[in-house]
Amino acid sequence: MKTLIVYFSYDGNSAVVAEELKKATDADVLELKTEDEKVRTGFAKYAWGGKQVLTHARPKLKPYTVTIEDYDRIIIGGPVWAGSPAPALQSFIAQTRISGKMLGLFICHGGGKGKAMDKFKALLPGNIIAAEIDFINPARLDREAVAKQIAEWVGTL
Contacts with ligand FMN, residue ranges (CB under 6 A): 9-14, 45-46, 49-50, 78-83, 108-113, 137
| Residue 8 vs 71, nearer CB to ligand FMN | 8
Min CB(149)–ligand FMN separation in Å: 15
CA pair distance 34, 40, nearest whole angstrom: 13
| Residue 100 vs 112, nearer CB to ligand FMN | 112
CA pair distance 124, 22, nearest whole angstrom: 22
Min CB(53)–ligand FMN separation in Å: 7
Min CB(68)–ligand FMN separation in Å: 22
| Residue 12 vs 59, nearer CB to ligand FMN | 12
Min CB(38)–ligand FMN separation in Å: 13
Q: Which residue's Cβ has the minimum distance to ligand FMN?
A: 49
| Residue 46 vs 64, nearer CB to ligand FMN | 46
**To 5 degrees, how large is the angle CA 117–CA 121–CA 127?**
150
Contact 21, 34 (CB under 8 A): no
Min CB(152)–ligand FMN separation in Å: 20
| Residue 80 vs 103, nearer CB to ligand FMN | 80
